[in-house]
Amino acid sequence: DGGITQSPKYLFRKEGQNVTLSCEQNLNHDAMYWYRQDPGQGLRLIYYSQIVNDFQKGDIAEGYSVSREKKESFPLTVTSAQKNPTAFYLCASSRFGQGEDGYTFGSGTRLTVV
């Protein structure tokens, strides 16, 4: 079955450490996205990519970095510059990048920084 796999489901890190969240999709989607979800805030866009080797900042990109070397993969690095990294992170993909198609979401990674 096609879908999006995010790993790990839970992640604990010490303050000051960088951490990379994995996102892999086998839906042959061109566009991929990273969202951050905090209680009562909805989903906020961190980064998105519409084609391989190209990506753009979303609304809250500061303290995060991404790469898109393969169509199937879009890893997110939470750097030590991110002031409040504890959150639920969701990866998504879609066939198109212009809001014409529904998004498929992964099951998320809950990051806790202590």
For the chain, list the strands marked E by DSSP.
Answer: 4-7, 10-13, 19-25, 31-38, 42-51, 54-57, 64-66, 76-78, 87-94, 104-105, 109-113
Instruction: Kindly state whether residue 86 participates in binding other proteins, applying the rule CB under 8 A.
Output: no
Instruction: Kindly state whether residue 44 participates in binding other proteins, applying the rule CB under 8 A.
Output: yes
Footprint of other proteins on residues 3-32 (CB under 8 A)? none
Instruction: Kindly state whether residue 43 participates in binding other proteins, applying the rule CB under 8 A.
Output: yes
Q: Round the CA-based radius of gyration of the chain to a whole number and report it.
A: 13
Instruction: Kindly state whether residue 98 participates in binding other proteins, applying the rule CB under 8 A.
Output: yes
Instruction: Kindly state whether residue 35 participates in binding other proteins, applying the rule CB under 8 A.
Output: yes
Closer Cβ to other proteins, 85 or 97, answer by number:
97
Q: What tokens does 76 get?
A: 């997110």
Contact residues toward other proteins (CB under 8 A) are 33, 35, 40-45, 48, 58-59, 90, 97-108
